[in-house]
């Protein structure tokens, strides 16, 4: 959910809640519809407290998942740079092939995977260049102690990169299950109905409007915040973007130039294989 949509939804819900309270106030008896206001306030307090604790706990967990995805994206980008450095200690043909595939991996994350995550369409798909990297390293036969050390280091980094990728894509299709959303909506509606029974014709319209509006505003804002964290990837303000991997692409180019390494990436700027691009054309 974008900030603009959240603001519109919050304003609309709060306005409707205040209007409903003022309409209920017109026909409400003095002192509200409850004969014992203290007892009613106690029941309302139990419902509101239980809801606030549940919602706060869910928001906390959703933020943790959001932060995990952000941290995973940063770790993945950092490991890609490290793997490029490790690849240079292997034999020249293997180093060149792995370096090019690493660039393609980074490009596909930025241009292809991130769009799929933003649209919730990535699913359980694997990165095709991750598969290519695995196939390439599997065919490498170290011929010296240096190459053997680099080979072992590469495998460890590959495992770390895959773990970081899993953290990045976690939650791309939503973190909060539907039953939990239904519970939150039902409890929110229950609190709204309870507040309508506190309508009091003896109270001023402004007081009654603030009573309902403040509760509706807080609940709606928290639900919008939860919806924001439920889908951490996207194009809106505050959503996770491939900034770390974009920076990695720049670093890959700079480090390659500084080391005199020529990287021939077998893909286009979006990470699509060149052979597939030629077939499409």
What pLDDT score was predicted for residue 255? 82
Q: 34-38, 64-68, 143-147: which has the highest mean pLDDT?
A: 143-147
Average pLDDT over residues 68-81: 92
What pLDDT score was predicted for residue 123? 67
Q: pLDDT tens for residues 84-143?
A: 999 999 998 899 899 999 999 999 999 888 888 887 777 677 889 999 999 999 999 999
Average pLDDT over residues 218-243: 85
Let me know: does 6 contact 224? Beta carbons within 8 Å: yes
Average pLDDT over residues 5-33: 89
CA 254/CA 137 separation, integer angstroms:
24
Domain count, the chain: 1
Q: pTM for the full model?
A: 0.79
Residue 40, domain extent:
3-280
What pLDDT score was predicted for residue 39? 79
* 48 pLDDT higher than 90: no
């Amino acid at each position: 959910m974008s900030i603009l949509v959240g603001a519109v939804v919050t304003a609309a819900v709060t306005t409707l809640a205040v209007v409903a309270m003022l309409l209920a106030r017109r026909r409400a008896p003095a002192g509200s519809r409850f004969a014992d206001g203290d007892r009613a306030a106690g029941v309302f307090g139990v419902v509101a407290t239980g809801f606030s604790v549940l919602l706060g706990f869910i928001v906390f967990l959703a933020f943790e998942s959001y932060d995990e995805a952000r941290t995973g994206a940063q770790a993945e980008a950092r490991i890609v740079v490290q793997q490029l450095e490790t690849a240079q200690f292997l034999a020249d043909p293997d180093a060149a092939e792995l370096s090019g595939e690493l660039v393609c991996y980074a490009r596909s994350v930025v241009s292809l995977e991130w769009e799929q995550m933003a649209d919730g369409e990535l699913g359980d798909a694997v990165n095709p260049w991750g598969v290519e990297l695995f196939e390439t390293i599997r065919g490498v036969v170290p011929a010296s102690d240096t190459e053997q050390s680099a080979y072992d280091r590469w495998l460890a980094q590959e495992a770390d990169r895959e773990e970081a990728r899993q953290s990045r894509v976690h939650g791309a299709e939503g973190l909060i299950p539907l039953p939990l959303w239904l519970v939150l909506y039902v409890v929110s509606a229950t609190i709204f109905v309870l507040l309508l029974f506190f309508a009091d014709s003896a109270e001023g319209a402004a007081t009654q409007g603030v009573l309902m509006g403040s509760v509706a505003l807080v609940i709606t804002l928290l639900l919008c915040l939860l919806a924001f964290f439920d889908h951490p990837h996207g194009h809106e303000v505050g959503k996770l973007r491939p900034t770390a991997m974009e920076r990695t692409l720049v670093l890959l180019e700079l480090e390659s130039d500084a080391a005199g390494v020529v990287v021939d990436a077998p893909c286009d700027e979006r990470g699509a294989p060149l052979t597939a691009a030629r077939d499409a054309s």
